[in-house]
Structure 1
Amino acid sequence: MTAGNQGNQAIQPGEMFLGGVIDPVSGQRMQRDIIYDARNLTTHGIIVGMTGSGKTGLGIVMLEEALSSGIPCLILDPKGDMGNLLLNFPSFSPRDFLPWINEAEAKSQATGTDQLAVQISESWRSGLAEWGIGPDRMQKLADSASCTIYTPGSVSGVPINVVGSLVAPRLDWSDSSQAEIGRDEIEGLVSSFLVLARIDADPISSPEHILLANIIEKAWSEGRDLDLGSLISQVRHPPMRKLGVFEIDSFYPQKERDRLAIRLNGLIASPSFAAWMAGPPLDIERMLYSSRGQPQASIIYLAHLSEAERQFVVTLILSRLITWMRRQSGTPDLRALVYMDEVFGFAPPTAEPPSKKQILTILKQGRAYGVGMVLSTQNPVDLDYKAMSNAGTWMIGRLQTERDKARILEGIESVSGQTDMKLFDRLISNLGKRQFVLQSAKAKEPVIFTSRWSMSYLAGPLDRNQIERLTRDHPLRSISISSSSAGAGAAYGTAASTSFKIASAAASQETLRQEGGMEMTRRSSGGFPPASGEISRDESQVAPRVDPSTAVYYLDPSAPWASQVRSMPGGKRLQAGLIARVHLKYDDNKAAVDHTEEWEAIFFPLSKRFDPKSAINVDYDDRDLTSRPPDRAIYLLAKADLDKASYFKEAKSALQDHLVRSRSISILRNPALDLYSRVGESRNDFERRCFQAAEDKADIEMAKLKDKHESSINRIKSQLNNADRRVRELNTDTRQRQQEELLHGAGDLLSGLLGGRRRSLSLGGAASRRSMTIRTQERLRSAEEKKEEKERELEELEDKLAEEISLISDRWKVAADQIEEIKIPLEKADVDVEEMSVLWIPVG
């Protein structure tokens, strides 16, 4: 926010010239302008002021500045004031102002409308001139962006089809973050639709909400668009068998689903509902930007709607906006501005209307994507505290009560603890008309300012006649009106053709069952003829004849594999296919295989000749099939001769031949071990089994090897033990003799020999002891050599044994790894076509 001297002609893109600064002491306007950075509005804004405070004029000024800067605007207009944006008259011609003059005002001033138009024209010219705004600036605004007034539920302006198509958003449902975006949009859509139908439902606990949300998510996640007719049809016959862990009939019984379908059907069957499906489809990208990328202002006029209808429209549009927003890249700039002229009832502090979640989501997440939201309200107590705390810009005008002022002070303090609340209290207590206190998260202190004169003529709330006058030449309106008048019947005809006389249909079906059984029900094909012109030459309202020996079924919409055959849940046009159940037997005596399995498939669509290669493998059970045709069924005539038994006989034979040629089962074989895997046994499990068998074989050979060498090993070990014992004995004897000789013998021998006193014979004893020691040592060496010989012999035997053990182990390891795959084929006698029936599948 900047405040500078007048000179707004130099305003740059992204700058918003909002007005002029007011001196808080004198209350007079100063020669400084309020130039506000549009990027500040990415943190959102709140405008508060009582009736007559000028907040609507300030909102229009803000939108004029945004559009002048090339910022597209989505404007929610509950009161009808925002259409004044189109009243931009750069020439200031009284003729331009004349159609918008209030005759009552002219009478009150005792003047004619022509004279009042002249006065207003001059007043507007001089008022804008005081702010330095002339025709050039006004023309720039007119050239910067086009403005469209949409009137949902009415053709007075540009109608918009907010509910007719339920087009699937372009999302990758395998991505959890994008799936979350889709679910949020579905929640808003279902909540708003149930509000429109006057059904109070909670997204978490209400079966109505949960069922509708699941039906829409299933279609969207499969890339399919919906319309209201198919949605209501699927309420009666949901395209899923379970919700959570409960069967659908336990979670939400059939009778209750019928009551919901009747309630919704009554809504769309009403002639007044046709206008809700007129006009271009709801597309946020096209509402913000033209086909050439030029920014636009899209005003959603809501003044003509009831409270429930307003909730419906606001919730739906904001949920679509959030989906669009989350697909954008991040930016610090203001990419788009969402303005709501009166937020009362849409985000209250206590109740939880469907719109509240969408508003809070934008306030919390919009900044990351450059989407700003500005909410306007008379009474701040009507706005949820979380919404107030997410606003970074506050513009507070004159307030009605002290309670309103206290609420504002509480909200401002929660956003910025640095604000001088006593000063702020004084500022908002002395405001005049068109004066506001501007508090920004980007500014240190609040500023009082007066809003500038708007370039758009403020004619007050516009009624539907005035809206029609403003949009009379709009290209989208001319297309919408011409298409709807070609038959408002067309819109209503669509609604009527997609709505269902549920109670009557159910009663007639029950009567047929009681009177003539299921065959009568089948022939009735729903009982209600479609509108004239809907049946082509290749279609029939009566089910085509089928060979009497062949069963006929209709696809239940809850079949989990319905999407594989591109079934259209709720569709009335049926195309024939064949459904087959075949028992296959695989046997091989050598491999000890005796395996049977059930093979099931759909053949769809059918050609003149049965083609077994067109099989779509599905795993179906009896719950996927029903003998009851949908209401108002139309049958596409099949090319195949379904009325002839020969067709089915040839089809069964062709299917048998095809399966014999194309199907087999694979098992594993180990020829070295003569082992075969079991059907369904994994390779890892079979490898473990082979390893265990090889190990058992190796153990047998090891046992034989042990028997072969055990006696030799025992003999050598015994000899080695004896040699070891002899060595120990001689070793001990030798040490004892050496000790005795050292103590006694050696001294006697030396002293006797050298002393000469002893006789020679007396020295013989000493010499004999010495000789015996020497001989003992020789025997010890001989024993040690013998021990070493036995040790070598034992070692050589162990080496030989180890080599033989390695050979055995390696041989069986190799045997365990000799695994190969073999196929067990079918023979024709092994193929039993248990069932081949006709299945009618909805395709449109």
Structure 2
Amino acid sequence: MAELFLGGVVDPATHDRTGDEIRIDTDKFTTHGVIVGMTGSGKTGLGVVLLEEVLTSGLPTLVIDPKGDLTNLCLTFPGLQATDFRPWIDEAQASAAGESPDEFAASQAELWTKGLLGWGFTAQNIQQLRDRTDFTIYTPGSQSGVPVNIVGSLEAPADTSDAEIVGDEIEGYVTGLLALVGIDADPLSSREHILLSNLINHAWSQGRSLDLPTLVGMVGNPPIRKLGVFELDQFFPPDDRMGLAMKLNGLLASPSFAAWAEGPSLDIQSMLYDENGRGRCAIVTTAHLSDEERQFVTSLVLGKLVTWMRRQSGTTDLRAMLYMDEVAGYLPPTANPPTKKPIMTLMKQARAFGVGVVLSTQNPVDIDYKALSNAGTWMIGRLSTERDKARLLEGLTSAAGGVDIGAVDDTISGLGKREFVLRVPGKDATSVFTTRWAMSYLRGPMTRDQISSLMADARAEAATSTATIPTAPAVADGAAAAGSATPAAAEPELGDDESTVMPEVTDSIPVRYVDVAAPWIADVGGSERGNRLQAAVVARINLRYDETKADLVHDEEFECVITPLDDHVDVTQLVAVDYDERDLRTAPPTESPVYVMTDAKLANKTFFSGIERDLKDHLYRTMEVEIPANTELKLYGRPGEEADAFEARCLTLANDRADEEIAKLRDKYEAKVDKLRDQIEAAEDRVDVLEEQASSKRNSELLSTAGSLLGGLLGGKSRSSMLGKLGTAAGRRGRTNASKERLDAAENKVDRLQEDLVELEADLADDITEIDARWMSTAKEITTLSVGLEKSDISVAQLSLAWLPVD
């Protein structure tokens, strides 16, 4: 962690320095910063001082400079001599000061020397800054500084696993590109935006980089067939696509656009660090561009920065700083230019990766304060209107709820030049400070010639990576007739095995061209980027599989590609594909196709009839379909039937067979059950009768005996008479016991019969269980039946010579 020395504290009332210094730790800027001030407030000087401090600490900076003021960071002169200042002074300022250019240069050298000494800075500090970093001014679309190859900025990311990162980068590029041709495209609803985004994503998902000419060519001849759930031609008809391609091609055809393809590719890592890992100061100046071009370039830079940032490890200290000057047009409160989304992303997420964002503006009313509310460090200078101040205080309130907004309001109103109200994260109290003297010579925006002179060495070093715009590929099938502004391609340099003239092909065979959108193109060795055409045979063959015992008659279409072709074609090397008519075009993919020569006798009809014969023989020997089979059930599946589905059919049939066999048990068990039930009913009836008889006899015998004996006893009968009664009573008791035994026997018989019924039911349960288990086992005895072809069941429906694009 380092301290950034920005200036000294001043008394807001007297505007005198108090002697205290303003030093802010670098980690405070991971929560981002905002610099606000009207023209003449010293805002640019504060930004330069901040960047000098960051660079002196060894950290890299990426500076987006729409006005050209921050190119002054390159004007550091350790000698502080008049001759150092002379090439860079503004002679208009010298004239206004009533001095000659040499005199003005001398006075500027003296002014800077004294100004730096007043803050304790010497030539040694300037030299330290120059030793710690190197400065590069990038001028996209211009050769004045180091140009940037914007056309080549469609390089595929090294890691495409994070769809959000890839999507954001694509969205920024496409939105900016369409703005250049006057199309205000919404990423969610614009056909143009959706098509271009899908084309880029298609290439990147395959690890392929693009350039703008290639992308334009893909618009007319896309390598994709569907967008969402709709066919491409339905969603975006060919004529409409050609209109978009024409607009984009007009951009490419513009002579002034050639500069956009020169210089190194837009690569954040190389812009921020040299090969030894030393931090750099990359100044991307867009002062020479139109508003649309500035948006395009800035959105690309920011999109690349977001992608680079998300690949970094987490850190709590500052790793790098993004400084954006005059951000008002790039972060509006309501509109959504292509720059807004990446700025919002950086403000919300960059802290975790140690990337600090500092936004500078003189018009806070034109800024989305929700973005500003993510900033922790605020440096507020003089403002031009009360409306600006109100909007600024609104954002500050969201960012720092504990700050006394009323006091800040009063303080802002009394600020002098180069004075700022400072609020740092973690402190509610604010302070007023004045910026220290900048080591860089603040001469204002440099001319193109000055930038060119300053960057001569850097531009020469970058010249080795300078790219030129390749010719956009022509669009086949009517593209030329539609009228293309693409310059005619130069005659290609041909190899020994190449020709621009298609070899002669027999009239009996149709000639086609494989479309780059054919989904199987890579499977047969082709390439959607290929610029050479290799001969191939494409065949569609009707096959009939016939098996009587399986009651099977199954027809199939078999389609294949055979390539490369030679005087003898080995059909065993065929590649099975699934093609439709759209995959084979009638016109070549370019206006100047290059054909790979072959020894195949394409002009002879017998050459193709031999291929047809060999194909039939090969398919007869090798092709078969396999169907599931259950021979016990005599059940056979069908080609393509899922194993689970066939097993379910087997189980259903086995259940039916089991039900049939179980039904046959009914006759066997029904008679036995009926007999037992009749016997049980009869036995139960006997029990009921015996119970009733026994009960009646017991009652009558008891009453009779009890009446006789008791009557005799109570009636005064003689002893002999009563003894006679005793015999009768004892006999009756014996008869009662015999009735009880007969009843017990009857009940036991009922129990035995019921036990017999239970045993019979158990036997039935065993039989049913055995039948069910046996049929369920049979249902799972599934095998595979292979069904081959008869030669008479093979017929070639289509045979074409197709030219396949290859690398």
Q: 1:440-490 CA distances to partner (integer Å, 9 max, x unpaired)?
A: 33221211101111122222211111111111112xx21444776xxxxx8
Asked if 1 retains the 8 angstrom alpha-carbon contact of 2:135 and 2:283, the reply is yes
Tell me the equivalent position of 2:480: 505
| Structure 2 residue ranges without an equivalent (≥5) | none
Contact 2:33 2:376 in 1 (8 A): yes
- Pair 1:588 & 2:547 matched: yes
Q: CA 1:806–1:252 in 2, change beyond 3 Å: closer, same or farther?
A: closer
Given that 2:476 and 2:587 are in contact with CA atoms closer than 8 Å, whether structure 1 keeps it comes out as no
Distance 1:723 1:73, change over 3 A: same
Residue 7 of structure 2 contacts residue 436 of structure 2 at CA under 8 Å; is this kept in 1?
yes
Give the TM-score taking structure 2 as reference length. Answer: 0.93
Instruction: Specify whether residues 479 and 843 from structure 1 end up closer, same or farther in structure 2 by C-alpha distance, changes over 3 A only.
Output: farther
Check conservation: 2:537, 2:802, Cα contact below 8 A. yes
If the length of structure 1 is used for normalisation, what is the TM-score? 0.89
Deviations 1:367-418 (A, max 9, x none): 2322222121222223223333232222111222233223222322232232
Distance across 2 between alignment mates of 1:346 and 1:379: 12
Partner in structure 1 of residue 111 of structure 2: 123
2:733 counterpart (770, 776, 786): 770
Does the CA contact (< 8 Å) of 2:8 and 2:21 recur in 1?
yes
Output the CA distance in 2 between the equivalents of 1:38 and 1:270.
45
Counterpart pick for 1:820 among 769, 772, 783:
783
Give the alignment of 1:515-664 within 5 angstroms: 530-562=489-521, 564=523, 568-569=527-528, 572-606=531-565, 609-641=568-600, 642-664=602-624
- Indicate how the Cα distance of structure 1 residues 533 and 832 shifts in structure 2: closer, same or farther if over 3 A, else same: closer
Query: Superposed, which structure 2 residues align to 1:263-412 within 5 Å?
Result: 263-412=247-396
- 1:666 partner SS: strand
* Shift in CA distance, 394/797, structure 1 to aligned 2, threshold 3 Å: closer
| Residue of structure 2 equivalent to 1:518 | none
Post-superposition offset of 1:427: 1.1
- Which residue type is aligned with residue 219 of structure 1? A
> What residue is the counterpart of 1:809 in the other structure?
772
User: Separation in 2 of the partners of 1:268 and 1:501?
Assistant: 19
Q: What SS does the aligned partner of 2:339 have?
A: helix
- Deviation at 1:36? 0.9
CA contact 1:152–1:302 (8 Å) conserved in 2 = yes
Superposed, 1:127-142 pairs within 5 Å as 127-142=115-130
Give the aligned CA root-mean-square deviation in angstroms.
Answer: 2.9
Displacement, 1:627? 0.6
For 1:569 and 1:137, the matched residues in 2 are separated by 57
Give distance in 2, aligned partners of 1:273 and 1:527. Answer: 13
Q: Partners in 2 of 1:500 and 1:783 — Cα distance?
A: 106
- Matched with 1:198 is 182
Larger mean Cα displacement after TM superposition, 528-537 or 437-446: 528-537
Alpha-carbon distance in 2 for matches of 1:56, 1:269: 38
Once residues 802 and 306 of structure 1 are traced to their aligned partners in structure 2, the CA distance between those partners, rounded to angstroms, is 93
**Residue 523 of structure 1 corresponds to which residue in structure 2?**
none
Q: Contact conserved, 2:673 with 2:757, CA < 8 A, in 1? A: yes
The residue number in structure 2 matching 1:478 is: 460
One of 639, 647, 659 as aligned partner of 1:687:
647
CA contact (8 A) 1:342 1:378 kept: yes
Q: How many angstroms apart in 1 are the aligned matches of 2:720 and 2:474?
A: 151
Aligned length: 803
Question: Deviation at 1:280?
Answer: 0.9
- Alpha-carbon distance change, 482 to 106 in structure 1, aligned in 2, over 3 angstroms: same
Distance 1:462 1:625 in 2: 57
Cα shift at 1:594:
1.3
Q: 2:647 & 2:334 partners in 1: Cα distance?
A: 67
Task: Choose 450-459 or 685-694, whichever is displaced more.
Answer: 685-694
Please tell me whether the aligned partners of residues 532 and 594 of structure 2 are also in contact (alpha carbons under 8 angstroms).
Answer: yes
Cα deviation for residue 72 of structure 1 reads: 1.5
* Counterpart in the other structure of 1:707: 667
| 1:18-66 C-alpha deviation (Å, 9 max, x unpaired) | 1111112321011111111222222222211222221111111111111
- Closer/same/farther in 2, CA of residues 356 and 761 from structure 1, 3 Å limit: closer
Partner of 2:687: 727
Letter in 1 for 2:509: T
In 2: Cα distance, 1:165 partner to 1:425 partner: 45
Aligned-partner Cα distance in 1 for 2:367–2:747: 109
Cα distance between partner residues in 2 of 1:411 and 1:808: 83
Contact 1:574 1:636 (8 Å CA) reproduced:
yes
Q: Among all aligned residue pairs of Structure 1 and Structure 2, give the percentage whose two residues are the same amino acid.
A: 49
- Alpha carbons 1:147, 1:296 under 8 Å: kept: yes
Q: One-letter code of the match for 1:28?
A: D
Amino acid at match of 1:706: R
1:745 aligns with 2:705: yes
Quote the offset at 1:564 in angstroms.
4.5
Give the AA of the match of 1:374: V
Tell me, in whole angstroms, the C-alpha distance in 2 between the residues paired with 1:801 and 1:396. 97
Distance 1:801 1:502 in 2: 79
Q: CA deviation at 1:759?
A: 6.4
* 8 Å contact kept, 2:502–2:595: no
CA shift for structure 1 position 504: 8.6
Match of 1:163 in 2: 151
Q: In structure 2, what is the Cα distance between the partners aligned to 1:542 and 1:90?
A: 66
Q: Deviations over 1:560-608 (max 9, x none)?
A: 4445457555764333333221222222111222111112233345566
Deviation at 1:781, TM superposition (A): 3.1
C-alpha distance 679-483 of structure 1, shift in aligned 2 (>3 A): closer
Q: Per-residue CA shift, 1:647-680, capped at 9, x if unaligned?
A: 3233333333443444322222222222222333
Q: Which amino acid aligns with 1:842?
A: P
3-state SS of paired residue (1:822)? strand
Q: How does 1:253-264 map to 2 (within 5 A)?
A: 253-264=237-248
Worse-superposed segment, 760-769 or 405-414: 760-769
Distance 1:180 1:566, change over 3 A: farther
- Are residue 668 (structure 1) and residue 631 (structure 2) matched? no
Following the alignment from structure 2 to structure 1, what is the Cα–Cα distance between the partners of residues 477 and 796? 39
User: Deviation of residue 527 (structure 1)?
Assistant: 13
- Sort the Cα spacing of 1:636 and 1:499 in 2 relative to 1 into closer, same or farther, 3 A: closer
Q: Quote the offset at 1:323 in angstroms.
A: 1.9
Equivalence for 1:150: 138
Deviation of 1:818 after TM superposition, in Å, equals: 1.5
Moved more, 288-297 or 107-116: 107-116
Quick one: which amino acid aligns to residue 840 of structure 1? W
Deviation string 1:255-308 (CA, Å, 9 cap, x unpaired) is 332222222112111222111101111111111122222221111121221222
Change over 3 Å in CA distance of 1:108–1:768 after alignment to 2: closer
Q: Take 2:137 and 2:490, find their aligned partners in 1: how far apart are those partners?
A: 34
Going from structure 1 to structure 2, the CA distance change for 1:446 and 1:760 (only over 3 Å counts) comes to closer
CA contact (8 A) 2:419 2:434 kept: yes
For residue 748 of structure 1, report the CA deviation from its aligned partner. 3.9
Matched residues in 2 for 1:529 and 1:421: separation?
65
Instruction: Check the 8 A contact 1:528/1:631 in 2, yes or no.
Output: no
Change beyond 3 A, Cα 1:499–1:677:
closer
Counterpart AA for 2:741: E
Answering whether residue 85 of structure 2 is matched by residue 97 of structure 1, we say yes
Q: 1:386 to 1:270 in 2, by over 3 A?
A: same
Instruction: Measure how far apart 1:758 and its partner are.
Output: 0.4
State the partner residue of 2:31.
43
Contact in 1 for aligned 2:477/2:587 (Cα 8 Å)? no
1:736 aligns with 2:696: yes
- Aligned equivalent of 1:67, options 32, 55, 73: 55
Whole-angstrom CA distance in 2 between matches of 1:365 and 1:352: 19
- Hey, what does 2:12 align to over in structure 1? 24
Residues 269 and 496, structure 1, Cα contact 8 Å, conserved in 2: no
Q: Tell me which amino acid in the other structure corresponds to 2:503.
A: P
